[in-house]
Structure 1
């Protein structure tokens, strides 16, 4: 028990890291579930890299300043999302190809901008985050983004679920289709920026998508998947932080690797559609 409790009881930086990870787990995982249901999981990965140039510009202007990097990341992410949609609408290029192109340009440009002014340490900070160095301002930002995300999802929950099931039907009976899509993309960008502050650009999407994929093997309903995803992300956060503390591993990759292990266990032995249930299906009752 001391191995589990003492790091969080004795050290303030571990308490801050845990609070920040729990905030991200509550806010990012519902967005990840809807990304998965809408078959947009790779879109989340691309958007995670799209915020890098904006964060890099903020870094060039103000150094490792939370506000500047956050504003830059949000602006860059929203710009890439809007440009992707515009290119897909006015040219023959499909949206997935357009997004892939902008994501590759953004990743290369962001790394180049950080390298112009900073050291390799600064580049690693941007790419992999510093969850063990979260301060009060970062925690307030993470909790605020989580609050905004949950409140917004509660307001658009029904049309968002309908769009996952049948977007053409929603477009035919309601004007919510377009606004819901762009509101949802804004939530994706906000939560990627939140994850970026703690886990870095390359790891932020992991805490969003892996718990959502894990939840698919434990629940059939959307509400069930939302709960399981949040619990999975929280458990992975605790395990990853403990691994980082006791074994000296990088905290961000340790958290994402823990989430990956939970996903692999669920893939093999989860009660809904896993490899085990496919290999050994339950016998049906005779009528």
Structure 2
């Protein structure tokens, strides 16, 4: 039973193997980014940027059709532009960064849908919004693998500085006023780059799901940053595998199945994780109430 569910589809079908490899590569790079977003209290910024890349993707689509390179470059430029403009607005006005992100990403989403509708069909729009993971070819798999490798290498190089910038930004300012801004810029660039990789697999609306849900689930289990990062990566890998297998056996859309699996891991972590323990707290409160009644 387990063999037929978890292993056989990936042995018998090449498109399932390519989808699994792309998802596993994406999970390796997005889970650490999602954890840093969570620790920096920027969880919704990732969702905003996943929508903000859509106008660039749409421009690439209008110029070159369903070209992964053209749409990827366009999406990266659009995402970085929205991040820079939002940061500038929050620095020069009383608006906080999350508020400026919200304002720009809603306009970007509407603009992207409008541009795609000018020449594309409803099928093309659904493909870009929700992805088409089972149609991932060898070129897309290599593209995602390169982005995941670059992300992991850069994260390893800036890891210490990024941790300091996350927990003690004032300390870094002592060594140089530009250092925190440089680290923040590199982090946002990596974030946009991985969202660009994710849109081909999960679409612009769901690519952030594989980034944030394993990270939130990991924080319910581990106290340390290293432990949280390891659990987040393992959770992302497991959810990608289970989601793909579930979608194949139940004939469900693969992208939503993966995100739903990650959502299930999040709910289980909330209930049973030692750092959240909702179920344990419910039992404890119930026992306290029952003792008080007696």
How would you bin the TM-score normalised by the shorter chain?
over 0.9
Query: Which aligned pairs between 1:226-241 and structure 2 lie closer than 5 A?
Result: 226-241=229-244
Which of 176, 180, 183 lines up with 2:183 in the alignment? 180
Q: Does 1:41 align with 2:18?
A: no
Aligned counterpart for 2:272 among listed residues 247, 255, 269: 269
Tell me which residue corresponds to 1:110: 112
**Other structure's SS at 1:80 match:** helix
- Cα-Cα RMSD: 1.3
CA distance in 2, matches of 1:95, 1:39: 11
Shift of 1:197: 1.1
Aligned to 2:199: 196
1:18-75 superposed Cα distances (whole Å, 9 cap, x missing partner): 0000000001111000000000000000000000000000011111110000000000
CA contact (8 A) 2:47 2:208 kept: yes
CA distance in 1, matches of 2:91, 2:277: 38
Q: 1:224 aligns with which of 227, 236, 251?
A: 227
Question: How many angstroms apart in 1 are the aligned matches of 2:145 and 2:111?
Answer: 29
Supply the distance in 2 between the matched residues of 1:87 and 1:270 (Cα, whole angstroms).
Answer: 39
* TM-score, normalised by the number of residues in structure 2: 0.93
User: What is the correspondence of 1:126-205 to structure 2 with a 5 Å cutoff?
Assistant: 126-174=128-176, 175-205=178-208
Deviations 1:183-209 (A, max 9, x none): 000011011111111000000000000
Tell me the distance in 1 between the aligned counterparts of 2:281 and 2:156.
Answer: 35
Report if the CA contact (8 A) 1:217-1:273 is conserved. Answer: yes
Q: Structure 2 stretches of 5 or more lacking a match?
A: 285-294
For 1:158 and 1:278, how far apart are their aligned partners in 2? 36
Partner SS state of residue 93, structure 1? coil
Deviation at 1:242, TM superposition (A): 1.1
1:209 matched to 2:217? The reply is: no
Q: Which residue of the partner structure matches residue 292 of structure 2?
A: none
Task: Report the Cα distance in structure 1 between the residues aligned to 2:96 and 2:31, rounded to whole angstroms.
Answer: 27
Q: Which runs of 5+ in 1 are unaligned?
A: 282-287
State the TM-score, normalizing by the size of structure 1. Answer: 0.95
